[in-house]
């Protein structure tokens, strides 16, 4: 979404980048080398549908190849354009660097409204797009590994993986050519929920440090915090679900394409999701106040605002009216550069997109590693871990018995302790660790450098430093 009188999405990303590099001491020229997008491939292809040939336009942009493969989703939406995929590819470079996923940045998109097509038609279109990209190595396990994004999911990734495998019948690593696949087609447990889960872990880490809370004027924990979510797609839904069901947050507002729902006492996220599934939108949902113009809820009083849909939704027209003291950018680029300035002035704390939604690519990284190692995480260790834990429990029991049963080992402890970690637990543990470490690296820069006004700039500084170090190490 391009907002009138404001820089484009890519220009916004560049402005934020420039603000950060002004504080860095990069060798002449390196700054530009990192900022610019290396290449963008545009393809137009025809598919025979409903008795006529329809032409589609798609893109795959490669922002930086300081590490390979390059990584980033493929989005299916009518608004897809070159500026947008380039901005998103740049964000992927910084995102991967920040969370130490060993990839360069890329992004793709197809200009299409997927809702206008039957499943079998979408399959043909997706396969044809995948063919066009794969034959130029823009889908490739060691060169370029796409993933889901807006308008795409497990189903499209399975088609892409299969298309690549058909074109590369002897490639033993073919399944690693794309991530976000269904479990039965080489996917990993926990990938679907990963971005939303990452948002939850990011907020938990935020609430661990009183200095961060103080900057936003918040106290306590996530428990009881009023949260407004824009977009109840995969990311917004999982974030809202986990925050309300596991951390005690109250989802007071949900904004969707056809309006917004508000309930001061908290909305039942699963019920809203089920309603949307059945009725196509939030209109008519009981137990909430409905407003046709959902965007008014962006300006509603709350503790945490989670834009989890499109870019540019908080812009010069509404930034000054946003009341949330804390915004976490679950979407990519929801706040324009101009709005970012206004919010910073107001003291709003923003947990930036390149960090906040990095859970997706982090678990994609685990999936890619799983595919290359051809074995599920935990398969070798799980039972061995359980038998070692059994030894400890037996020994505790023996000691307790020898002391006349003065101490008892509770059943619930035994159950929890004895169970070895399965793939989902390992994925969550790896994601939690990644989100904590990345947050801590931003936090250190934010609090300790004195000249860094916000977390976004801190994120850029950490990320650009890592990309620059890669270039310095390997040469250009
Ligand atoms: N599309 C997601 C993103 O913007 C995931 C990318 C990936 O997993 O490669 O981060």
pLDDT tens digits, one per residue of 272-320: 999 999 999 999 999 999 999 999 999 999 999 999 999 999 999 999 9
Q: Residue 386 is encoded by which pair of tokens?
A: 């359980």
Domains 37-187 and 194-359 share a fold: yes
Q: State which of 61, 147, 334 you would mutate to test the pocket of ligand 1, scoring each by most atoms of that ligand within 8 A of its C-beta.
A: 147
Is residue 2 pLDDT above 60, yes or no? Answer: no
414 given a catalytic annotation: no
Residue 414 has pLDDT above 80, yes or no: yes
Between residues 323 and 1, the one the model is more confident about: 323
Q: What are phi and psi of 181, to 5 degrees?
A: -80, 160
Q: How far apart are the CA of 274 and the centre of ligand 1, in A?
A: 25
3-state DSSP percent of the chain in helix, strand and coil, to 5: 50, 15, 35
Query: Is the pLDDT at 3 greater than 80, yes or no?
Result: no
Ligand 1 atom closest to 148 (CA):
1
pLDDT at 350: 98
Q: What is the pLDDT of residue 1?
A: 53
Atom of ligand 1 minimally distant from the CA of 358: 10
Q: How far is CA 249 from CA 222, 260, 285, 290, in A?
A: 6, 19, 21, 21
User: Is residue 357 pLDDT above 90, yes or no?
Assistant: yes
Q: Are 373 and 365 in contact (CB under 8 A)?
A: no
**How much is the average pLDDT of 338-360?**
97
For residue range 53-101, what is the model confidence (pLDDT) as tens digits? 999 999 999 999 999 999 999 999 999 999 999 999 999 999 999 999 9
Q: What is the mean pLDDT of residues 365-375?
A: 98
pLDDT by residue (tens digit) across 159-198?
A: 999 999 999 999 999 999 999 999 999 999 999 999 999 9
Q: What string of DSSP letters covers 114-176? A: GGGS-HHHHHHHHHHHHHHHHTTTSSBTTTEE--B-TT--HHHHHHHHHHHHHH-TT-TTGGG
Q: What percentage of residues in the chain have a pLDDT greater than 70?
A: 99
| Cβ atoms of 352 and 17 closer than 8 Å | no
Atom of ligand 1 lying closest to residue 180 CA: 8
Confidence of residue 333 (pLDDT cuts 50, 70, 90): very high
pLDDT of residue 121: 98
Domain regions of the chain by residue span: 37-187, 194-359
Query: In the chain, what percentage of residues exceed pLDDT 90?
Result: 93
Tens digit of each residue's pLDDT (9 = 90 or more) over 14-38: 999 999 999 999 988 999 999 999 9
pLDDT over 90 (residue 473): no
Determine the distance separating the centroid of ligand 1 and the alpha carbon of 195, expressed in angstroms.
Answer: 9
User: 86: Cβ below 6 Å to ligand 1?
Assistant: no
pLDDT of residue 476: 67
Total residues found in the chain within this entry? 476
Query: Collapsing DSSP states into helix, strand and coil, what is residue 224?
Result: coil
Any ligand 1 atom below 6 A from CB of 297: no
What is the pTM assigned to this prediction? 0.96
E strand intervals along 100-225: 104-111, 144-145
> 194-359: which CATH topology?
Rossmann fold (3.40.50)
Report residue 404's pLDDT band, with 50, 70 and 90 as the boundaries. Answer: confident
Among residues 67, 71, 95, 107, the one annotated as catalytic is 107
* pLDDT of 395 over the 90 cut: yes
Quote the pLDDT of residue 236.
98
- Stretch 219-248: mean pLDDT: 98
Q: Which CATH class is domain 37-187?
A: alpha beta
Judge if the beta carbon of residue 71 lies within 6 A of ligand 1.
yes
Average pLDDT of the chain, as a whole number: 96
Ligand 1 centroid to Cα of residue 355, in Å, is 12
Alpha carbon 381 to its chain's center: 29
Range 333-355 average pLDDT? 96
């Amino acid at each position: 979404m391009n907002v009138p009188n404001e820089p484009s999405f890519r220009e916004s990303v560049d402005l934020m980048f420039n603000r950060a590099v002004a504080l860095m001491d990069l060798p002449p020229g390196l700054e530009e080398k990192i900022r610019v997008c290396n290449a963008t491939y545009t393809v137009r292809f025809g598919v025979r549908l409903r008795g006529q040939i329809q032409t589609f336009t798609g893109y795959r942009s490669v922002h930086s190849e300081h590490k390979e493969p390059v990584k980033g989703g493929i989005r299916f939406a009518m608004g897809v354009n070159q500026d947008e995929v380039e901005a998103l590819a740049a964000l992927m470079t910084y995102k991967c660097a920040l969370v130490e996923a060993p990839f360069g940045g890329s992004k793709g998109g197809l200009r299409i409204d997927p809702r206008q097509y039957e499943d079998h038609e979408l399959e043909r279109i997706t396969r044809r797009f995948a063919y066009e990209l794969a034959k130029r190595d823009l889908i490739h396990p060691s060169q370029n590994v796409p993933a889901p994004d807006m308008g795409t999911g497990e189903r499209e990734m399975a088609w892409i993986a299969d298309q690549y495998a058909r074109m590369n019948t002897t490639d033993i690593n073919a399944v690693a050519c794309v991530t976000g696949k269904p479990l039965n087609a080489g996917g990993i447990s926990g990938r679907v929920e990963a971005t939303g889960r990452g948002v939850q872990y990011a907020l938990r880490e935020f609430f661990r440090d009183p200095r961060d809370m103080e900057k936003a004027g918040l106290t306590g924990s996530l428990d009881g915090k009023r949260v407004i979510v824009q977009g109840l797609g995969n990311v917004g839904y999982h974030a809202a679900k986990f925050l309300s069901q596991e951390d005690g947050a109250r989802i007071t507002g949900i904004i969707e394409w056809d309006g917004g729902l508000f309930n001061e006492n908290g909305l039942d996220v699963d019920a809203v999701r089920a309603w949307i599934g059945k009725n196509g939108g939030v209109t008519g949902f009981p137990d909430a106040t409905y407003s046709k113009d959902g965007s008014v809820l962006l300006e509603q009083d709350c503790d945490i605002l989670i834009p989890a849909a499109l870019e540019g939704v908080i812009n010069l027209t509404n930034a000054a009216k946003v009341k949330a003291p804390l915004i976490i950018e679950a979407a990519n680029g929801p706040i324009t550069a101009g709005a970012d300035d206004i919010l910073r002035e107001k003291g709003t704390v923003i947990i930036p997109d390149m960090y906040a939604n990095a859970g997706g690519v982090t678990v994609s990284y685990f999936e890619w590693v799983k595919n290359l190692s051809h074995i599920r995480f935990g398969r070798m260790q799980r039972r061995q871990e359980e038998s070692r834990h059994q030894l400890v429990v037996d020994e505790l029991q023996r000691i307790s018995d020898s002391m006349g049963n003065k101490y008892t080992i509770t059943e619930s402890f035994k159950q929890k302790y004895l169970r070895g970690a399965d793939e989902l637990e390992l994925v969550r543990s790896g994601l939690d660790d990644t989100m904590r470490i990345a947050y801590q690296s931003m936090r250190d820069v934010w609090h300790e450098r004195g000249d860094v006004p916000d977390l976004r700039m801190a994120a850029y500084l950490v990320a650009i430093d890592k990309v620059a170090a890669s270039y310095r190490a390997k040469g250009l």
